[in-house]
Structure 1
């Protein structure tokens, strides 16, 4: 049996679960054609109201990809809510790195500026979940007073 590695801080699963709740709240609207249509209209209206840009008109392929992304992220979020295992946090941090990269790419290519809000959260949760894995750890050997 393989032992799962764990980051050093016992609060880490709370960070994993918090990021999952955020994902669930933000992506649930993408999971079905009906909810995506409503979300698309709301985001466009919000962008128009604050002069931050609107989304392009809906087309079947855009809806399909939004629904695929929404469905996968909703299931992934539910898994992390039920079991906020540290390894899931590590993989989520890696996924957030990819999401943030593609969001930055879209922004550079002319995506509406409100996308920055999502990018900032992706980066923040990505750092919060990845940093504990990258920071040096100290371990104590029973009977030894020095950290290894």
Structure 2
């Protein structure tokens, strides 16, 4: 029999942790200029090998944005590993929705097709973390004031 998993279900924190591990593995290389240079080179070679084309040459602004994204995602992943709270799963699912939208936009603009692999992962982790919230009534409500 299929059991409904809600954010209060004991399995839900495992989903939150799994998505955090994925983020840490995939984005840690983006967090510094030196590691991003290595990641950029590896992705470029992969693109050439599979016929998707190399990435454009690195520039300082691209590196800055990659480092900002990598740094924030690494910190966010560490928070979810240490404290996999249901609310963290909700917000991570919302962030993944945004990431998936921007990845789909990039693909529509001609980004290399290997980006689909990351898009699929974003959607999968987003669904796993957001769907349980649909079973929670009033899950995200305004806090009550002291006089209420």
C-alpha RMSD over aligned residues: 1.2
Check whether the contact 1:8–1:132 (CA below 8 A) recurs between aligned residues.
no
Larger Rg: 1
Check whether the contact 1:7–1:133 (CA below 8 A) recurs between aligned residues.
yes
Asked if residue 103 in structure 1 is aligned to residue 103 in structure 2, the reply is: yes
* TM-score (norm: length of structure 2): 0.86
Counterpart of 1:72? 72
Unaligned runs of 5+ in 1: 1-5, 138-148
Counterpart of 1:144? none
Check whether the contact 2:48–2:54 (CA below 8 A) recurs between aligned residues.
yes
Check whether the contact 1:20–1:80 (CA below 8 A) recurs between aligned residues.
yes
Counterpart of 1:49? 49
> Residues 60-139 of structure 1 correspond to what in structure 2 (within 5 A)?
60-135=60-135
Equivalent-residue separation in structure 2 for 1:86 and 1:56 (angstroms): 39
Runs ≥4 residues deviating over 6 A: none
Equivalent-residue separation in structure 1 for 2:136 and 2:84 (angstroms): 22
Equivalent-residue separation in structure 2 for 1:65 and 1:129 (angstroms): 26
Task: Please state how far the C-alpha of 1:136 moved relative to its aligned partner.
Answer: 5.9
Equivalent-residue separation in structure 2 for 1:53 and 1:118 (angstroms): 17
Unaligned runs of 5+ in 2: 1-5, 138-148
Equivalent-residue separation in structure 1 for 2:22 and 2:54 (angstroms): 23
How many aligned positions are there? 132
Task: Please state how far the C-alpha of 1:53 moved relative to its aligned partner.
Answer: 2.3
Task: Please state how far the C-alpha of 1:135 moved relative to its aligned partner.
Answer: 3.0
Counterpart of 1:18? 18
Task: Please state how far the C-alpha of 1:9 moved relative to its aligned partner.
Answer: 2.2
* TM-score (norm: length of structure 1): 0.86
Mean CA deviation greater in 59-68 or 128-137: 128-137
